[in-house]
A and B are shown apart, each in its own frame.
Chain A
Amino acid sequence: MSRPILWGDTVQPGSSWSLILRRGRELRIEDLEGGANVGAIFYNFDCPVERYNMPDTLKAQHTAHLTNGFVLYSDMGRVLCSITEDTCGWHDPLGSHNDAAAVGKKYGESSYQRERNAWHRNTRDNFLVELAKYGLGIRDLPANVNFFSRIVVADDGAMKFVEGNSKPGDSVTLRAEMNLLVILDTGQHPLDPNPRYAPKPVKFAVREAAPVAADDPCRLFRPENARGFINTERYFL
């Protein structure tokens, strides 16, 4: 992948970022230290009432986890983005995110007044702040993806966080199939058993993606995805 990086930056531990990722570009997210979690939500930037839909993504691909080959569906039968590369192997779509009460209960009291920018932030507030910048609010907040985290579900339905899922340098690449508003947050996963507040940084980079070929692995991954791509292409005709 020698395509030049158009731009990129680092999302600091416990921080958020929002960005516009145009159709045909790709976003690579790298877990710098290992053990990162990236809460992520996606909207059709041109019409944000269309947004990432967890159940549609899972049932179209008969999956409860995400890795390369899978795509993220909107609630309108279109592909928001495709996972074109993944060295980690498992990303969690089930685990929600922490709010201020959860962070306070789990990691103890913390305040900006005392700790300045090292204070304990939470993903819910960070999501809401970023959403507000685009005229969106809590009504618009769907179930999020947690990149780099793994939750296994036992036969009785019990959910368990798997530690060590992501190694230093692991990365995932998302190819935008629509013009996207992407919101990222590096807060810890709600089921992460680590009792310490220890979110990790991630680096991201935006590049021009290679054109989607007729034999694109995400498109051919399942017949459902081929139809999802048809719906998406029709949207841009």
Chain B
Amino acid sequence: MNESTLCPSSAIYDKTVLAGEGWIYRIEANQIFRIVDLEGNQAVDTLFYNANDTSERYSATDTIVGQRNIYLTTGTTLLSNLRRPMLTIVADTCGRHDTLGGACAVESNQVRYAIEKRHMHACRNSFLLAIEDPKWDLTKRDIAANINFFMNVPVTPQGKLTFEDGISNPMKYVEMRAEMDVIAVISNCPQLNNPCNGYNPTPIQVLIWNASVRSAGA
């Protein structure tokens, strides 16, 4: 757990992403990026790409092997598939974030819950819609294993993976410093079949600060 000194009023970007919506945005190197779980218990499925070469992207397995720990929190460096720092988590009032649980898809929902559930809204459809504009230089094959901010997916020493009730509460947040220019892609998870959103998906807030504001406020 580690709090931030930044004030939302000094942010250069401040947007609420509604439950089930996608979001894509370019974040410049050294800018600070915060995600706020406004109402608590909301999984925020997130991908990052090098804005100048999208074949370089966040890598879940390289990040966890790099820090030899599967959970993300303050101090975690989010590594790319080229094992370069993309962002560093600098504040986190939730304490633990998942990167093994992936993003829900209509197809994986069929497997996990029922063949008939293909119609239910899912993260990977939101990702595909978010990246649809060719200007982002991203297609389905670029959708790699993502981060689930505010989601709790423990692994046991016996090798079991479980989806536990969220450990996030209203207004918990996680904050990152961009180490390179990145494209952030978010699906504010619409999953209604498991407790990852407390069976009630809710809005999140995304904020961005310029690096100069950070040094002035510190």
Interface flag for B217 (CB, 8 Å): no
24 interchain pairs (CB within 8 A)? A49-B140, A53-B108, A54-B60, A55-B145, A59-B108, A64-B155, A64-B159, A94-B61, A95-B65, A96-B62, A101-B83, A143-B144, A153-B159, A154-B157, A156-B71, A157-B69, A158-B69, A159-B65, A159-B68, A160-B68, A190-B65, A224-B111, A227-B111, A227-B115
What is the 8 Å Cβ interface bit string for chain A, positions 48-78, against chain B (1 contact, 0 not)? Answer: 0100011110111011110000000101111
Residue of A58, A60, A230 touching B100 (CB-CB under 8 A): A58
Tell me how far the C-beta of A78 lies from the nearest C-beta in chain B, rounded to whole angstroms. 8
Chain B residue numbers with a CB within 8 Å of A155 are 154, 156-157
In this assembly, does B39 line the interface, its C-beta being within 8 Å of a C-beta of chain A? no
* B60–A143 CB distance below 8 A: yes
**Chain A: CB-nearest residue to B109:** A77
Q: A64 with B110: in contact, given A142-B145, A159-B64, A190-B65 (CB under 8 Å)?
A: no
- Note all chain B residues with C-beta closer than 8 A to A142: 144-145
Residue of B nearest to A60 (CB): B111
A110 within 8 A of partner (CB): no
Contact A90 B159 (CB under 8 A): yes
What A residues does B68 contact at CB under 8 A?
Answer: 158-160, 191
B39 to chain A, nearest CB (A): 24
The total number of A-B Cβ pairs within 8 Å is 139
Interface residues as binary, B2-18 with A (CB distance below 8 Å gives 1, 0 otherwise): 00000000000000000
Q: Does A141 contact B (CB under 8 A)?
A: yes
Q: How far is the CA of A55 from the CA of B54 in the complex (A)?
A: 21
Q: Is the beta-carbon distance between A227 and B110 smaller than 8 angstroms?
A: yes
Given A55-B100, A94-B61, decide whether A141 and B160 contact each other with a Cβ distance below 8 A.
no
**With the chains together, A49 CA to B115 CA distance in Å?**
22
Q: How many residues of B contact A (CB 8 A)?
A: 48
Residues of A within 8 A of B60 (CB): 54-55, 143
CA distance A155 to B101 in the complex (A): 17
User: Which of A140, A144, A153, A190 meets B70, CB within 8 Å?
Assistant: A153
Question: Are B83 and A99 neighbours in the complex by a CB distance under 8 Å?
Answer: yes
Interchain CA distance A90-B160 in the complex, whole Å: 12
With A54-B102, A63-B160 known to touch, is A75 a contact of B115 (CB < 8 Å)?
Answer: no
Contact B81 A153 (CB under 8 A): no
With a CB–CB cut-off of 8 A, which chain A residues contact B81? Answer: 138, 141
Q: Which chain B residues lie closer than 8 Å to A144 at the CB level?
A: 61
Nearest neighbor of A48 in chain B, beta-carbon distance? B141
Is B42 close to A, CB under 8 A? no
Output the nearest chain B residue to A155 by Cβ-Cβ distance: B157
The one of A59, A96, A160 in contact with B163, judged by C-beta atoms closer than 8 angstroms, is A59
Q: Does A137 lie within 8 Å of B55, measured CB to CB?
A: yes
Cβ-defined contact, A143 with B61, below 8 A: yes
Per-residue CB contact flags for chain A residues 162-206 toward chain B (1 = under 8 Å, else 0) read 000000000000000000000000000011000000000000000
Q: Which residues of B contact A139 (CB under 8 A)?
A: 54-55, 141-142
Residues of B within 8 A of A152 (CB): 157, 159
B155 contacts A49, C-beta separation under 8 Å: no
Q: Complex: how many Å from CA A212 to CA B108?
A: 22
Does A228 make an interface contact (CB < 8 A)? yes
Q: Which residues of A contact B160 (CB under 8 A)?
A: 62-64
CA distance A224 to B113 in the complex (A): 7
Residues in chain A near residue B146, CB distance under 8 A: 55
Q: Which 3 A-B pairs have the closest CB atoms?
A: A55-B102, A77-B107, A65-B159
20 other contacts beyond A49-B141, A159-B65, with CB at 8 A cut-off?
Answer: A53-B102, A53-B145, A54-B100, A56-B108, A59-B153, A60-B112, A76-B107, A77-B107, A78-B107, A94-B65, A96-B62, A99-B82, A102-B83, A138-B55, A142-B145, A155-B156, A158-B69, A191-B65, A191-B68, A231-B111
Residues of B within 8 A of A158 (CB): 68-69
| Cβ–Cβ contact B159 & A56, under 8 A | no
Q: Which residues from chain B contact A99 at a C-beta distance below 8 Å?
A: 82-83
Q: Which of A60, A153, A227 contacts B155 (CB 8 A)?
A: A153
* A102 vs B145: C-alpha distance when bound (angstroms): 22
